[in-house]
Amino acid sequence: MKTPSCQLSVSRRVALMKPSVTVAFGNRAKAMKQAGIDVLGFSLGEPDFDTPQPIKQAAIEAMLAGQTKYMPTLGDAETRGVIAAKLERDNGIAGLTSDHIAISAGGKHALYVSCHCLLDPPEPGEPAPEVLLPVPSWVSYAPIARMAGGTVIELPTTAADDFKISPDQLRAAITPRSRLLILNSPSNPCGTMYSPDELRALATVIEEATATTAPDLVVMSDEIYEKIVYGDMAHFSIGSIPAIADRVITINGLSKAYAMTGWRIGYTAMPGDFGREFIKALATMQGQMTTCITSFNYPAIRTALTECEADVLRMRDAFATRAEVMFARLGKINGLICPKPTGAFYAFPDISCFFGTTSAGGRPINSALDLCEALLEEARIAFVPGEDFGGCGDRCVRISFACSEAQINAGMDRFEDFLSKLR
């Protein structure tokens, strides 16, 4: 991409990378608010709660005590040990020691380095490693996997199936080149989750495939919304299934469950001998990339994971109530289809019944992006258009309900009013 004024250019890899639409719409809504515009934000997946006080206190005390210098790249052994114990206690992932844990600058960074430590760009004439991705899925997975050299194989899902893949679908998608399967339950953007039995059935397919066609296949399970569940289903970690445990990378972080998005704390776990090697690879990469995370955050991680369960439950209960309110409001809108959210804090309705209309402000609505642009400009509500989530996402919008009930009701009033004026 050459600029007209000079011969300089940015790398092709980045020039071709899609910017994150969740971050873009989130920033846009925040900028409008700062400019004094009365916009209601439903775009960013960011809890509106403050970080619990004991977590802040732990960081403040560490900073005052002088823990302000470089630390070991993957984190100190004590904090990595606390994470290993948490994964064993809460998630049933056995055999983890601190050597199987890496701490990164957010879940996004953990995913980024994990993909780079697992995938290689193909040599000339070779096929690229395949990354199996159920879609719609969070907008960052595909760009991160591609940047690491993978080719993304989308596994389409539908609202009627709660946006979940079936074991047969997975079996049919696996090839000898399959290197990575990315799972995200509860799901961003879908707000749905897999049951323990559904994950066991997928694990059986993986076990069979790795014994035959796809010996190199690894599962990356992004469980960042594990604590934000409020349906009948319990969260379940696929890494707890012994038959495949040694090929499951579990990714998590503190952003969502502990309302710590700005702290940038994520972690990666993988048991077994390869797990230890894999985590060493992460250390090599992070050692050349970030050195370590902010050093006074380590005690805060320990406090969050050992002392703040009550705060997590309090926030979870609030999200559960908001999910009910949001689902009830969406249910009143004719033609819109939306599975009931059971986890995370997103509704992902199919709004394609409004395609072919024109807004009161004269904007033709022929796509999810058209609808979101018109909603932002005319109704002053910020949703995220579904196109970049892949698959049937182009018929959907993502509505984050990580905000107050009052805001949800006010936003849905504006949404209904906007829809009632479509021609």
Nearest to 422 by CA among 348, 358, 375, 371: 358
Residue from 134, 150, 253, 411 binding ligand PMP (CB under 6 A): 253
Min CB(310)–ligand GLU separation in Å = 25
Q: Does 45 bind ligand GLU (CB under 6 A)?
A: yes
User: Which residues are CB-contacts of 69 (< 8 A; sequence separation ≥ 6)?
Assistant: 295
For 7-56, the DSSP string reads S-B--HHHHTSPPPHHHHHHHHHHHHHHTT---EE--S---SSPPPHHHH
Q: Does 255 bind ligand PMP (CB under 6 A)?
A: yes
Q: Does 140 bind ligand GLU (CB under 6 A)?
A: yes
Q: Does 104 bind ligand GLU (CB under 6 A)?
A: no
Residue from 29, 39, 40, 44 binding ligand GLU (CB under 6 A): 44
Residue 255 vs 294, nearer CB to ligand PMP = 255
Q: Is the peptide bond before 134 cis (omega within 30 degrees of 0)?
A: no
Distance CA 270, CA 225 (A): 19
- The C-alpha R_g of the chain, in whole angstroms, comes to 22
Distance CA 239, CA 365 (A): 43
Q: Which does 136 bind (CB under 5 to 8 A by kind): ligand PMP, ligand GLU, none?
A: none
Min CB(388)–ligand GLU separation in Å = 10
Q: Does 106 bind ligand PMP (CB under 6 A)?
A: yes
Distance CA 107, CA 312 (A): 18
Q: Does 185 bind ligand GLU (CB under 6 A)?
A: no
Residue 179 vs 256, nearer CB to ligand PMP = 256
Q: Which does 44 bind (CB under 5 to 8 A by kind): ligand GLU, ligand PMP, none?
A: ligand GLU
Q: Does 20 bind ligand GLU (CB under 6 A)?
A: yes
Q: Which residue is nearest to ligand GLU (CB)?
A: 45
Distance CA 348, CA 338 (A): 6
The CA distances from residue 131 to 146, 149, 150, 163, 172, in Å, are 9, 10, 6, 18, 14
Q: Does 237 bind ligand PMP (CB under 6 A)?
A: no
Residue 73 vs 252, nearer CB to ligand GLU = 252
DSSP state of 375: I
> How does strand 381-382 pair with strand 40-41?
parallel
Q: Does 187 bind ligand GLU (CB under 6 A)?
A: no
Maximum Cα interatomic distance, the chain, rounded to a whole number of Å: 63
Residue from 73, 114, 221, 261 binding ligand PMP (CB under 6 A): 261
The CA distances from residue 293 to 69, 97, 296, in Å, are 10, 20, 9
Residue from 188, 192, 221, 250 binding ligand PMP (CB under 6 A): 188
Q: Which does 91 bind (CB under 5 to 8 A by kind): ligand PMP, ligand GLU, none?
A: none
* Residue 419 phi, psi (nearest 5): -65, -35
Q: Would you give the binding string for ligand PMP spanning residues 318-347, x where CB under 6 A is met?
A: ------------------------------
| Residues in touch with ligand PMP (CB under 6 A) | 45, 106-108, 138, 184, 188, 222, 224, 253, 255, 261, 266
| Residues in touch with ligand GLU (CB under 6 A) | 20, 22-23, 44-45, 108, 138, 140, 188
